[in-house]
Amino acid sequence: MRAPSFLRSLVGALVLAVVAGVSACRPPVPEQVLRSPAPTPAKPPLGAHAEWWTPRANDDSITFVIDATSVLHVFQDTVARTDSISAHTEVLWRGVTAGRFSGRVAVFATRMGNTTALFSSGALPVTFSGDARTPASVRLASPAPSCMAPAPAATVAAAIYSTRDLWFRLPDTLRIGTVWQDTATMVQCRDGIPLRLNSVRSYRVTQTESVAAAVVLVITRDQHLTLTGRGDQWGEEVAADGAGNSQMTFRVSAATGAVITAEGTGVLELRFGGTRRMQRVRQTTVTRIHRTLK
């Protein structure tokens, strides 16, 4: 069983739980279902800012740079090793209007250890669109690739999923203390084995900042992830399971609801193996998102 190479492709696909990785990976199925936010304005503490904001989304295009870096601690029997993987994405993002959004990924590069892969020819740029209403889905402009699709299709899906932290909808009105939640279910394929990833994301408006006389909302997000997978690989039954948590802080324009910056950390615990071999991985990830003038 090719457990080491399979595990590297699996973990490479899960930088901050779902930045898909290297070109050898089979593509994720580009479909995500989100439940729309159910805002629950909390009563602010005595003396807290009680002002309400109603972001007015527009169609302005914003270029975001997304960098995610993970350190992997891999344990097998009595042997332990440390590895690293990172992903760099540049995406032209259209504003979220009524829960709809779209993007165009122009640059997507991954680095695993000392090996860098820059995807461009024949695969990028790629345009995608989706919505965050009920029911919500992310849809590619082209047909969704199958688990047996060639590497370019895998690259397309990986590039799109690297932008997932931008896929959320704000409630119509916001104030300090507003909370809401969404859920996501995604299926990926790695070497023909389907992997199901479920996440629950909880958001809270925690404070405001003033930047160039404009109001910026600070929003924290807590995410809980579970992953399961079962399949047959070269005649042997293999299984994968995992769970993790991440925290991210967004700075969002109170006027338009557009993300200005975001940064966060996450931890994911994975187990993978069959009857002859079992591996355990602990992955810690740092993600940063910022705008660029491109």
| pTM beyond 0.75, yes or no | yes
Q: What is the pLDDT of residues 64-105, one digit of tens each?
A: 999 999 999 999 878 899 989 899 999 999 866 666 778 899
Listed by start position, the domains of the chain span 3-292
Quick: pLDDT tens for 125-184.
888 887 766 434 434 444 354 555 555 566 777 788 889 899 888 888 999 999 988 887
Give the tens place of pLDDT for each residue, 1-27. Answer: 444 455 555 544 444 334 433 333 333
Contact 188, 30 (CB under 8 A): no
Return the pLDDT at 157. Answer: 75
**For the stretch 125-163, what's the b/e string if a residue is b when 16 or more beta carbons lie within 10 angstroms of its beta carbon?**
bbebebbbeeebebebeeeebebebebbbbbbbbbbbbb
Is the model more confident about 235 or about 103? 103
Reported confidence tier of residue 278, pLDDT bands at 50, 70, 90: confident
Per-residue pLDDT, 69? 93
| pLDDT given at position 26 | 34
Asked if residue 42 has pLDDT above 80, the reply is no
Is residue 121 over pLDDT 70? no
- Average confidence (pLDDT) over 272-283: 84
Closest CA to 223 of 262, 272, 275: 262
Query: Any idea what DSSP says for residue 192?
Result: T
On whether the CB atoms of residues 144 and 118 are closer than 8 A, the answer is: no
More confident residue, 113 or 198: 198
The per-type count for the chain, helices as H runs and strands as E runs, is 2, 14
Residue 266, token pair as written in the block: 């996450």
- The yes-or-no verdict on residue 29 having pLDDT over 50 is no
- Which comes out higher in pLDDT, residue 60 or 282? 282
Res. 191 pLDDT band, cuts 50 70 90: low
